[in-house]
Chain A
Amino acid sequence: MKYIDEFNDPDLARRLLDEIHATVTRPWALMEVCGGQTHTIIRHGIDQLLPDAVELIHGPGCPVCVTPLDVIDKALEIAARPGVIFCSFGDMLRVPGTDRDLFRVKGEGGDVRVVYSPLDALDLARKNPDRQVVFFAIGFETTAPANAMAVHQARRLGLGNFSLLVSHVRVPPAIEAIMTAPECRVQAFLAAGHVCSVMGIAEYPELADRHRVPVVVTGFEPLDILEGIRRAVRQLERGEHRVENAYPRAVREQGNPAALSMLEEVFEVTDRNWRGIGPIPASGWRLSETYRAYDAEHRFDVTGIRTEEPAVCRAGEVLQGLIKPTECEAFGTACTPRTPLGATMVSSEGACAAYHLYRRMPGGPAQRGSRIPREELNTVG
């Protein structure tokens, strides 16, 4: 396994950077859709190495960040109940609900467990027939197939004590929402490679055409990101707006047929609220009628949740690429990973957390990369 070194090679990175520097003649604003890409960009300082004219705008693709507050509060309420084993991926545990988080519920005696796969939660349900096992099924197209598989298995095995608290979201409607917002400055997208490895790229050509934006499917290692930027900038400079797959080692045009059929079997498209952004039509999945009995919201009475978002938190604008984390008044003062106001500061994939973790140099690089005003950007196409 030499993948990591190969995709970190400084000489290759230098060559890609030289080419980007040589190509760019005007300012451009690119959005990386996924929080994993943001993490790589900030962790490796890629934005510091790009020409000043290339601005990277961080997109909404952090699954932890966009999970709505009322769903977190429902999770907290279910997890605190006696007789429940509440299972989640690790990074959901610190996300603040209205007045506490899953760690606190665990500290107060709730049976909250970190699992690495929904199938581990399913296994817990088999081994604890007298307990209700709930899995917190959040995330984009990447995590949805495995979650679908878990509930499919539960039904096949006749497990009556397993359910999902579902808050799945889909990327293409989010891109559509971003592009149609009046204040949108995005001129090209680095699409999330792992989403496309499941879904394929069929949903993107129409988006690219209609909004006249290049879409480059990109991986997550530093060289993947640089190659994505190189291709996007080349298209922008040429006035093109195509879909390109710069991650062919993982992404096939048709996606993963087995995963797609599992999604189709278990989920159906629904409207979803995105934390910090609001409702986006047809942007989520819920369990289909056949599987509705495995929906934790139906199994547990969690109605009457009242939520309250902190007023000063601007996570929504960060998620839409309207501001950089450092432009929020609360960044690094009222809002830190220890005292988070929004989920973008909690999740390791959140843009605010990435800036806080890697860019808190006094007078240093966190201050660099302030956004290019819309009027100075070039018109595309």
Chain B
Amino acid sequence: MADTATEAAVDPANWTCPAPLRDQPVVVMGHGGGGALSAELIEQVFAPAYGNPTLAALTDSAVLDLGGARLAFSTDSYVVRPLFFPGGSLGDLAVNGTVNDLAMSGARPAYLSTAFVLEEGVALDVVGRVAQAIGAAAEAAGVTIATGDTKVVESGHGDGVYVTTAGVGLVPDGVDIRPQRAQPGDAVLVSGPIGLHGVAVMSVREGLEFGVEIASDTAPLAGLVAAMLAVTKDIHVLRDPTRGGLGASLNEIARASGTGVRLRERAVPVPDEVANACGFLGLDPLYVANEGRLVAFVPPRHAEAVLAAMRAHPQGGGAAIIGECVEDHPGMVVAATGLGGTRVVDLPLGEQLPRIC
């Protein structure tokens, strides 16, 4: 315990925590979790080092003006374990993830690159299966793999296969989709049930069995976005709630736009199997990863028509309006609970941790 002299010297306003996770001198897993630690890494390490206005927008894909044509450009690395899981594989994620990041700018994805980091000793058969999955997913998403690269690292220095993809696509005229455009009154839509991907991967990785097989929702969303844009080009925000889940995406949008988000908890489509698995593990479905879902902020006058278009599309059959953008509590997400209370839905710190009991 601190002695009296130390206690008297404490100034709560300038207190420095004795265990400041913020000042971790090493990378911890939470830095890749898509939550507050990830955001800090970008804001405090990468953005200052690269510093430019294009990057400062911090959107899923950058929109670049190339002499009149607007090009969406995005890149992402995929390190999922296991490589194959119910409903998908590393290859599917590597294509769909980048295709979806492009689609979240309203772009029509066109070309992808792939870069493989292979660990010495991995069976060529496994690499072949990943490559085939990439080819099939690219065909399904309507994109062409235009270029690529391969590196091999020594045994023990990798996790089998890592894949990085980058992609480009064209943003149609009149489309301006970015988180800063959310405004009070906007309806908040989600394209289907949440949490399936995260629970599916966790169930295989940790050897957990929940009585029913839960398949990942991984899917390309560019077609769904095109169907939504056919209703109106005036869609304000699109986001695919991957790492950090719906909760993190809504927080990012609320912060970027300076508006509040009011969520109706009972309107959020959470499948029974996800709710049960999360209950068992002590996790909140709002923070579980998705790979084939999007959240959209749409002006209220277009909300019903956009919802109908989503529901008519194969990737949006379970779409729902889950809340709205409000002037109250700017920058925060607040949920109306099923019982009639309210609660804040915060940005998760890092990855969710299973509770003790």
Interface residues of A (CB under 8 A from B): 1-2, 4, 8, 10, 13-14, 36, 42-49, 63-64, 89-94, 96-101, 103-104, 106-108, 114, 116, 138-140, 142-143, 194, 222, 308-312, 329-330, 333-335, 337-341, 348-349, 356-362, 364-365
Which of these, A10, A143, A338, contacts B339 with CB under 8 Å? A10
Chain A residues whose CB sits within 8 angstroms of the CB of B342 once the complex forms: 45, 48, 361, 364-365
Q: A93 near B208 (CB under 8 angstroms)?
A: no
Chain A residues whose CB sits within 8 angstroms of the CB of B338 once the complex forms: 8, 10, 44, 222
Interface residues of B (CB under 8 A from A): 1-2, 6-7, 10, 12-13, 15, 17-22, 24, 26-30, 36, 206, 208, 211, 272, 275-276, 279, 281-282, 329, 332, 334, 337-344, 346, 349, 353-357
Q: B2 near A311 (CB under 8 angstroms)?
A: yes
Knowing A42-B343, A362-B329, A365-B342, say if A100 contacts B19 (CB, 8 Å). Answer: yes
Knowing A42-B343, A44-B337, A361-B334, say if A89 contacts B19 (CB, 8 Å). Answer: no
Q: How far is the CA of A333 from the CA of B354 in the complex (A)?
A: 26
Question: Nearest 8 pairs between A and B by C-beta?
Answer: A45-B341, A96-B19, A90-B353, A334-B15, A358-B343, A107-B26, A339-B17, A90-B354
Shortest beta-carbon distance from B6 to chain A in Å: 6
Given contacts A104-B26, A310-B17, 8 further A-B contacts (CB under 8 A): A4-B275, A44-B343, A89-B355, A107-B28, A339-B21, A357-B346, A358-B346, A361-B332
The residue of chain B having its C-beta at the shortest distance from the C-beta of A223 within the complex is B339
Chain A residues whose CB sits within 8 angstroms of the CB of B1 once the complex forms: 308-309, 311
Chain B residues whose CB sits within 8 angstroms of the CB of A1 once the complex forms: 211, 272, 276
Most buried by A among B17, B36, B275, B281: B17
Which of these, B208, B329, B355, contacts A348 with CB under 8 Å? B355
Q: B15 near A330 (CB under 8 angstroms)?
A: yes
The residue of chain B having its C-beta at the shortest distance from the C-beta of A362 within the complex is B329
Shortest beta-carbon distance from A308 to chain B in Å: 6
Q: How far is the CA of A297 from the CA of B10 in the complex (A)?
A: 34
Q: B29 near A106 (CB under 8 angstroms)?
A: yes
Q: Is the interface of A mostly helix, strand, loop or mixed?
A: loop
Q: A361 near B329 (CB under 8 angstroms)?
A: yes
Q: B12 near A143 (CB under 8 angstroms)?
A: no
Q: How far is the CA of A203 from the CA of B356 in the complex (A)?
A: 24
The residue of chain A having its C-beta at the shortest distance from the C-beta of B211 within the complex is A1
Interchain residue pairs with CB less than 8 A apart (27):
A43-B337, A45-B340, A46-B341, A49-B340, A90-B356, A96-B17, A100-B19, A101-B19, A103-B21, A104-B24, A104-B28, A107-B26, A107-B28, A116-B281, A140-B357, A308-B18, A330-B15, A335-B17, A337-B349, A338-B36, A339-B20, A348-B282, A348-B353, A349-B355, A357-B343, A358-B343, A365-B342
Shortest beta-carbon distance from A64 to chain B in Å: 6
Which of these, B7, B26, B36, B339, contacts A222 with CB under 8 Å? B339
Chain A residues whose CB sits within 8 angstroms of the CB of B353 once the complex forms: 90-91, 93-94, 114, 348
Knowing A1-B272, A8-B339, A45-B340, say if A143 contacts B21 (CB, 8 Å). Answer: no
Chain A residues whose CB sits within 8 angstroms of the CB of B329 once the complex forms: 361-362, 364
Most buried by B among A334, A335, A349, A362: A334
Knowing A48-B342, A106-B29, A308-B2, say if A64 contacts B356 (CB, 8 Å). Answer: yes
Q: How far is the CA of A4 from the CA of B274 in the complex (A)?
A: 11
Knowing A92-B356, A143-B357, say if A106 contacts B346 (CB, 8 Å). Answer: no
Chain A residues whose CB sits within 8 angstroms of the CB of B339 once the complex forms: 8, 10, 13, 44-46, 49, 222
Chain A residues whose CB sits within 8 angstroms of the CB of B27 once the complex forms: 107
Q: A311 near B7 (CB under 8 angstroms)?
A: yes
Shortest beta-carbon distance from B77 to chain A in Å: 19
Q: A311 near B272 (CB under 8 angstroms)?
A: no
Q: B356 near A44 (CB under 8 angstroms)?
A: no
The residue of chain A having its C-beta at the shortest distance from the C-beta of B212 within the complex is A1
Which of these, A45, A64, A334, A362, contacts B343 with CB under 8 Å? A45
Shortest beta-carbon distance from A87 to chain B in Å: 13
Q: How far is the CA of A379 from the CA of B338 in the complex (A)?
A: 35
